[in-house]
Amino acid sequence: MAMRYAISLLAILFASPLAAQGGTTPSAGGVASPAAPAAPGQDPIAAWLDSLASDAHGLTISRSAVHEGDLQVGAGDTVAGSIAAFHGTLDVYGHVRGNAVAAGGDVVLHPGSEVGGDVLSVGGEVRNEGGSVGGETRSVSALTVGAPTPAAPVTTEQTARRAVSLSVGWYLVLAFIGLAVVLFARSNLEIIAERIRTDFTKSFLYGLAGHILFVPALVVGVAASAITVVGIVLIPFIIVGFFLAAAGALALGFIAMSFVIGDAAMRWRGAAGGGGRAQLLQFLIVGLSIFLVLWVIAGALTSFGAVGGLVRFICMVVTWVAVTAGFGATLASRGGTRALHPPLLEEIEPIDDLSWQTPTPVSGVAAARRPPSSGRER
Amino acid sequence: MRSPGIIRPLLLGAAGVATLAVSALPTSAAAQESQRWRTLEASRSTPASSAGDTLRVRVAYSVGRLTLGDAKPGTLYDILVRYDANERLVSYSYDPAAHILTVGGDSGFARRFAISHDTDDKGPHPSLALRLAPSVPLDLALRLSAADATLALGGLDVRGLSVDATASGGRVTFDKPNPSRIPSAELRATFAGIAVSGLGNARADTVRAKATLGRVELDLGGDWTGSTTLDLDAVLGVVTVRVPSDVGVKVDASTTLGSVDTPGFTARDGALYSDNWSAAKRSVTIAGRAVLARLEVQRLP
């Protein structure tokens, strides 16, 4: 029942991050708005003109030359200076002595039209259908240099959703690693878990020491390698290997810790310990789920100010303690290769050469007579 | 009881953590994707007043694909740049008085074009497509760094040519005869490769090429007459010259721990001559230096 529950939970959680991501991922290949968002209370056109003037490919245009929406310069019309359409298309049939600009729209130069300066489209294109341009024609997908563009404010809902999906993502990956560990390194997992159960404090202190001594150990290892020529060549591999081993020990330790917690939780509920792989996986999933629930709650409470912060802090402390204890147990057991209590049979040493022999009377043992063979025997 | 191996669980854990790290990347990358890539297209009509003046073009481009070719009639230049605004700043300018077009800055290209990673195989590629007026005399100077360049100069009026490639690949083609002569063309490849085809069509009086830890290939095919000179330097590299069979070739090369491969040539007066040297209507004189390098002269069919 509990296993079914865990699998169902896993299936639901697989769907969750996808749904969450769908809401937060921006549309691929989208083009940034040609106009920089204005600060609250600021005229958006003025803000955009500031950006335009600052951009390497921009122009300087006065505010009075800008019109919102589509704009047209008639066949007989002449614009003495520059002209710009903001979030609209600029159709030029007549003459523009200055620059012709469109923000978030196209500039169309119709036959017979004439622009003395530059023609620029930001977020659109310039279509020259027979006009003449005295200056340069250019189109840019967006302004790249200019007034600083304030980042879009992130809503509390987005923050919470991101935190929850992050937790779920971690959960899924750890569950996957846990599955691999149960399948391929079950004995290591059990030995590390036994260490944690037997002496949690010692495991935690080992883990703490491991955290502190990580960098010094790396430095010593590299320095020792530098003594020989072969060692110098191996230094990059040693560094990478060291980090990989540490990452592996952390992951393995946390998985073992989750397994111990799941085991304890299930026993508290009265589950019997069968010891099969399925039950190991069940305990592991339950343990990881407990951490998941903690982090999901913390993520959901992100917008609740101090309370959310406190919950998140508690989650961090709990997780750090779990990771440290698991890491310590992994180190102490050499990655789950050294059991705390070796099996009894291995401890018993023969007292003398004869101790294993069957006691035999000095007078000997009468040989038993073999029963007569049956007729079927050949 | 058999002691379980330590490597297996550690590798499993490490692989898992690596997976975690990798799985965290796409979210942040996708979040920025729509903000990063920009296109810039700029063009200018050929001014009637300066139609006969030489347009000096200075290009410094790194980490991307560069193409150069001829523009539509009446257009002086046409630039199309695709770039990652987070990684680089595209800069170009045209000075109508001096008749200079500068793309990417004439100096300090590393400041202009950040030497960065933005050549993701699966994602968009940074690129610069430059098209120039076919009728305007051109003096071209290109500096490439970690770039992949294709320069189709066949339809242009080239009066000066300099290509400096570092850690790049460059292909230069002259598929049509150049309307003007080039007094001196310069090619330098450092940790790079430059291949020129139809160099005969370039109508260059002198071609200077240098390969340092790189390779330069010069194909002298094309429609040309008279004589031309190649001044070649190879340092820890290879310079290969391919010459049409009807062209007379003289090679005067010095080597320092290097070699000169000129199969079928005859040594005379300290130089190597092809069999048709005295009778050929067109000729090429090669002066070369090879230091820990190789100079090759091959015959085109």
Point out which residues pair with B133 in neighbouring strands. none
Q: What is the mean pLDDT of residues B59-63?
A: 86
Q: Among partner residues B1, B33, B44, which is closest to A28 by beta-carbon distance?
A: B33
CA B71 to chain centre: 19
Q: How confident is the model at residue B39 (pLDDT cuts 50, 70, 90)?
A: confident
Instruction: Say what the pLDDT of residue B139 is.
Output: 96
> Residue B158 pLDDT more than 70?
yes
pLDDT average, residue stretch A350-369: 56
Judge contact between B45 and B136, C-beta under 8 A: no
Q: Which residues of A touch B40 (CB under 8 A)?
A: 57, 138-141
Spans of all domains in chain B = 1-135, 153-301
Q: Which residues of B touch A30 (CB under 8 A)?
A: 34
Which residues of chain B does A125 touch, with a Cβ-Cβ cutoff of 8 Å? Answer: 41
Share of chain A above pLDDT 90, in %: 22
Nearest CA in chain B to A240: B14
Query: Which pLDDT tens digit goes with each residue over B241-262?
Result: 999 999 999 999 999 988 999 9
- Strand B92-95 versus strand B100-103 pairing type: antiparallel
Q: What is the pLDDT of residue B50?
A: 67
- Residues written for chain B: 301
A370: burial class by Cβ within 10 Å (0-12, 13-18, 19+)?
exposed
| Mean pLDDT taken over chain B | 84
Q: What is the DSSP letter of A64?
A: G
Q: Where are the domains of chain A?
A: 31-144, 156-332
Of chain B, the percentage scoring pLDDT greater than 90 comes to 58
Model-wide pTM > 0.90: no
3-state secondary structure chain A: CHHHHHHHHHHHHHHHHHHHHHHHCCCCCCCCCCCCCCCCCCCHHHHHHHHHHHCCCCCCCCHHHEEECCEEECCCCEECCCEEEECCCEEECCEECCCEEEECCCEEECCCCEECCCEEEECCCEEECCCEECCEEEEECCCCCCCCCCCCCCCHHHHHHHHHHHHHHHHHHHHHHHHHHHHHCHHHHHHHHHHHHHCHHHHHHHHHHHHHHHHHHHHHHHHHHCCCHHHHHHHHHHHHHHHHHHHHHHHHHHHHHHHHHHHHHHHHCCCCCCCCHHHHHHHHHHHHHHHHHHHHHHHHCCCCHHHHHHHHHHHHHHHHHHHHHHHHHHHHCCCCCCCCCCCHHHHCCCCCCCCCCCCCCCCCCCCCCCCCCCCCCC
What is the per-residue pLDDT for A370?
A: 61
pLDDT tens digit string along A28-66? 222 334 444 555 566 788 888 888 887 777 788 888 999
Identify which of B161, B162, B157, B160 has the alpha carbon closest to the alpha carbon of residue B137.
Answer: B157
Residue A304 banded pLDDT, cuts 50, 70, 90 = confident
Q: Which of A92-96, A278-282, A354-358 has the lowest mean pLDDT?
A: A354-358
- Using DSSP's 3-state secondary structure scheme, residue B241 falls into strand
Q: What is the β-pairing status of strands A136-140 and A119-122?
A: parallel
- Name the band, by pLDDT with cuts 50, 70 and 90, for residue A378: very low
Mean pLDDT of the B31-60 span: 78
Total CB pairs under 8 A between chain A and B: 142
Cβ neighbours for B38, distance < 8 A, ≥ 6 positions apart: A140, A141, A142, A144, B81, B82, B83, B84, B85, B90
Phi first, then psi: what are they for A294, rounded to 5°?
A: -60, -50
Q: A239-257 burial, b for 16+ CB within 10 Å, e for fewer? A: eeeeebbbbbbbbbbbbbb
For the cut 60, the answer to whether the pLDDT of residue A110 exceeds it is yes
Helix (H) or strand (E) holding B78: strand B75-84
Strands (E), chain A: 66-68, 71-73, 78-79, 83-86, 90-92, 95-96, 100-103, 107-109, 114-115, 119-122, 126-128, 132-133, 136-140
Read off the pLDDT band of B101 (50, 70, 90).
very high
pLDDT at A245: 84
| pLDDT over 80 (residue B1) | no
HSE on the CB side for B135, CA within 13 Å? 12
Q: What is the model's pLDDT at position B79?
A: 93
By the 10 Å C-beta count (0-12 exposed, 13-18 middle, 19+ buried), B96 is classed as middle
User: Which residues of A are less than 8 Å from B37 in CB distance?
Assistant: 141
End-to-end CA distance of chain B: 76
State yes or no: pLDDT of B193 exceeds 90. yes
Q: Which residues of B touch A56 (CB under 8 A)?
A: 89-91
Tell whether the model's pLDDT for residue A334 goes beyond 80: yes
- How far, in Å, CA of A153 to CA of A319, rounded? 30
- C-beta atoms of B40 and A27 within 8 A: no
**CB pair distance less than 8 Å for A169 and B13:** no
What CA–CA distance (Å, rounded) separates A106 from A92? 11
B280: which 2 tokens? 């050929």
Q: From residue B147, give the alpha-carbon distance in Å to each of B58, B64, B140, B150, B239.
A: 16, 5, 17, 10, 20
Between A180 and A347, the higher pLDDT residue:
A180
Is the separation of the CB atoms in A200 and A325 below 8 Å?
yes
In the predicted structure, residue B174 carries a pLDDT above the cut 90: yes
Which of the residues B3, B22, B28 would you substitute to probe the A interface, choosing the one with the greatest number of A C-beta atoms within 10 Å? Answer: B3
* Predicted confidence (pLDDT) at residue A336 exceeds the cutoff of 70: yes
Three-state secondary structure call for residue B49: helix
Sign of the Cα torsion B105, B109, B111, B112 reads positive
Query: Average per-residue pLDDT in chain A?
Result: 77
Compute the average pLDDT of residues A23-28: 29
Q: How many CA atoms, within 13 angstroms, populate the side-chain half-sphere of residue B16?
A: 30
Rounded to an integer, what distance in angstroms lies between the CA atom of residue A214 and that of residue A113? 72
Q: Give the whole-angstrom CA distance, residue B40 versus residue A55.
A: 12
B5-29 tens-digit pLDDT: 666 666 666 666 665 665 555 454 4
B186 pLDDT above the threshold of 70:
yes
- The distance of B109 to chain A (nearest Cα, Å) reads 16
C-alpha distance from A366 to closest chain B C-alpha (Å): 39
Residue B124 confidence (pLDDT): 67
**Would the pLDDT of A299 be above 90?**
no
| In chain A, % of residues over pLDDT 70 | 74
Q: Indicate whether A368 pLDDT > 80.
A: no
**How many Å apart are CA A153 and CA A138, to the nearest integer?**
32
Rounded to the nearest angstrom, the minimum Cα separation between B134 and chain A is 18
- Which pLDDT score, from 0 to 100, does residue B12 have? 65
- Assess whether pLDDT exceeds 70 at residue B115: no
Alpha-carbon distance of A72 to A94, in angstroms, equals: 9
- For residue B91, what pLDDT band results from cuts at 50, 70 and 90? confident
